[in-house]
């Protein structure tokens, strides 16, 4: 049913109370696009992300105002908060002291090494997880000079240098690493090469991937390739738009690789001229509902008798459409035939009944 994947052994690190790497599930994370100074907008977005299944959230800390507001975000957030920092190490120290569970630093944007060293020591004092986030667009000048272009080799050398620096100079190990480029294949090559040389957990994803459709494709190419090779301990699907979509896409990738499920899987036909019910709107309603449900179940929403009964029988609960009617299947058997106008309500009743009969299929996302 699914490919056999042997996950690469990595160290286990902690982002607050969420483990990453080792035998932990592959963690799904995202990033808010609000300002931390707008506490209610930030917390409301975090809540939506949590409902979608996000386990770790990152917030941008561009200035003093943002870092001053961080304490309240951290206090109220139900999941660990990571501060995203560039350029100013002083903001990093304040973020760590405000209680954030992790920081993401892009070493290429920090010019003053002494300040960076001080920040890393503060992280160690507070056991704040550090992600060394290498980005092809902002490599250190000496690396760029050596490699001429921001190639995957340049990213790997930069990441290895920084890991060695934190481990040897700071004696700190609560670390994870990312090596991102906007080119998915360059990103893959960077992770493949780095993973041969280090066992620190890897945060995988493609940076600046674009909107929902192109971004999903680019991320899926890179993330799936890496996960199939056993590489990846936490992932962020970077998309331009509503960050909750990042979380749904992340779980779709994980489920299709047989690595992790959170929301119901929906089998649905594309519809064609044979379809005699409004399957598109039915599907949309089932998908919207399924995004709020945390259960490892398979549903089928099919248009007609060609493939409908076959798929509906193989699902836990399924619909096969007819002329203005739908036949509902549960666990392989027909349970009722209902008119189109009551089809959705009856379908949801059967799904609820299935979940009551199979409570083991309901998922607690914080396992
Ligand atoms: S199941 Fe029926 S309606 Fe759906 S695509 Fe196949 S033939 Fe068309």
Q: Give the pLDDT confidence of 208-262 residue by residue, as tens digits.
A: 888 999 999 999 999 999 999 999 999 999 999 999 999 999 999 999 999 999 9
Q: Whose CA is nearest to atom 2 of ligand 1?
A: 304
Q: What's the gap in Å between 271 CA and the centre of ligand 1?
A: 5
pLDDT band at 47, cuts 50/70/90?
Answer: very high
Round to whole Å and give the CA distance between 83 and 2: 36
93 vs 56, 83, 122, 133, 355, CA distance in Å? 20, 10, 7, 17, 47
The residue among 181 and 7 whose pLDDT is bigger is 7
168 vs 171, 173, 190, 250, 290, CA distance in Å? 5, 10, 23, 34, 47
DSSP letter (8 states) at residue 84: E
List all residues whose CB is within 6 A of at least one atom of ligand 1. 269-272, 274-275, 302-304, 306-308
Check: complex ipTM more than 0.85? yes
Q: Give me the mean pLDDT over the 130-139 stretch.
A: 92
Residue 366's pLDDT is what? 56
Query: b/e for 167-193, b at 16 or more Cβ within 10 A?
Result: eeebebebbbbbbbbbbbebbbbbbbb
Give the CATH number of domain 265-361; options: 3.10.350.10, 3.60.20.10, 3.40.50.2300, 3.30.413.10: 3.30.413.10
The residue among 366 and 138 whose pLDDT is bigger is 138
pLDDT band at 110, cuts 50/70/90?
Answer: confident
Q: Is the pLDDT of residue 111 over 80?
A: no
Q: Establish whether 311 is an annotated binding residue.
A: yes
Q: What's the gap in Å between 306 CA and the centre of ligand 1?
A: 6
Is 269 strand, coil or helix?
coil
Round to whole Å and give the CA distance between 24 and 367: 9
The residue among 88 and 356 whose pLDDT is bigger is 356
Ligand 1, closest atom to CA 304? Answer: 2
Ligand 1, closest atom to CA 311? Answer: 1
Q: What's the gap in Å between 279 CA and the centre of ligand 1?
A: 10
Ligand 1, closest atom to CA 320? Answer: 1
Residues contacting 213, CB < 8 A, separation 6+: none
Q: Establish whether 275 is an annotated binding residue.
A: no
Share of the chain above pLDDT 90, in %: 89
Q: Give me the mean pLDDT over the 310-316 stretch.
A: 94
Residue 365's pLDDT is what? 63
Q: Is the pLDDT of residue 367 over 70?
A: no
Q: Is the pLDDT of residue 109 over 70?
A: yes
Q: What's the gap in Å between 41 CA and the centre of ligand 1?
A: 43
Q: Give me the mean pLDDT over the 100-120 stretch.
A: 88
Residue 359's pLDDT is what? 96
CA dihedral 280, 286, 292, 295 (to 10 degrees): -130
Domain positions in the chain: 13-256, 265-361
Q: Burial, 365: exposed, middle or buried (Cβ in 10 Å; 0-12, 13-18, 19+)?
A: middle
Report the CATH architecture of 13-256: Alpha-Beta Barrel (3.20)
The preferred substitution site among 268, 273, 306, 322 for testing ligand 1, maximizing ligand atoms within 8 Å of CB, is 306
Q: Establish whether 123 is an annotated binding residue.
A: no
Q: What's the gap in Å between 310 CA and the centre of ligand 1?
A: 12
Q: Give me the mean pLDDT over the 37-50 stretch.
A: 98
Q: Give the pLDDT confidence of 283-309 residue by residue, as tens digits.
A: 999 999 999 999 999 999 999 988 889
What average pLDDT does the structure give for the chain?
94
């Amino acid at each position: 049913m699914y490919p056999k994947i042997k996950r690469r052994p990595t160290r286990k690190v902690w982002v607050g109370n969420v483990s990453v790497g080792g035998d932990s599930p592959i963690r799904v994370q995202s990033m808010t696009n609000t300002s931390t100074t707008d506490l209610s907008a930030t917390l409301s977005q975090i809540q939506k992300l949590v409902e979608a299944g996000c386990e770790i959230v990152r917030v941008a800390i561009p200035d003093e105002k943002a870092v001053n507001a961080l304490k309240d975000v951290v206090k109220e957030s139900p999941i660990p908060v990571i501060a995203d920092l560039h350029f100013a190490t002083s903001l990093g120290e304040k973020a760590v002291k405000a209680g954030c569970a992790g920081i993401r630093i892009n070493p290429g944007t920090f010019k003053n090494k002494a300040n960076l060293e001080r920040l890393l020591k503060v992280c160690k004092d507070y056991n704040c997880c550090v992600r060394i986030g290498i980005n092809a667009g902002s490599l250190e000048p000496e690396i760029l000079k050596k490699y001429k272009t921001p190639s995957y080799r340049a990213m790997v050398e930069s990441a290895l240098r920084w890991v060695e620096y934190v481990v040897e100079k700071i004696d700190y190990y609560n670390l994870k690493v990312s090596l991102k480029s906007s080119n998915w294949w360059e990103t893959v090559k960077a992770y493949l090469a780095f993973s041969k040389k280090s066992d620190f957990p890897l945060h995988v994803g493609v940076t600046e991937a674009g909107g929902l459709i192109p971004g999903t494709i680019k991320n899926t190419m890179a993330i799936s390739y890496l996960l199939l090779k056993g590489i990846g301990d936490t992932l962020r699907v970077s998309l331009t738009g509503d960050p909750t979509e990042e979380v749904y896409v992340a779980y779709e990738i994980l489920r299709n690789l047989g690595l992790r499920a959170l929301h119901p899987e929906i089998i649905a036909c594309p519809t064609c001229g044979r379809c005699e019910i409004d399957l598109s709107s039915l599907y949309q309603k089932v998908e919207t509902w399924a995004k709020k449900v945390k259960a490892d179940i398979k549903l089928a929403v099919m248009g007609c008798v060609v493939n409908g009964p076959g798929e509906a029988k193989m699902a836990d609960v399924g619909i096969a459409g007819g002329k203005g009617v739908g036949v509902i299947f549960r666990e392989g058997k027909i349970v009722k035939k209902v008119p189109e106008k009551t089809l959705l309500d009856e379908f949801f009743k059967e799904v609820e009944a299935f979940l009551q009969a199979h409570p083991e299929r309901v998922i607690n996302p914080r396992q």
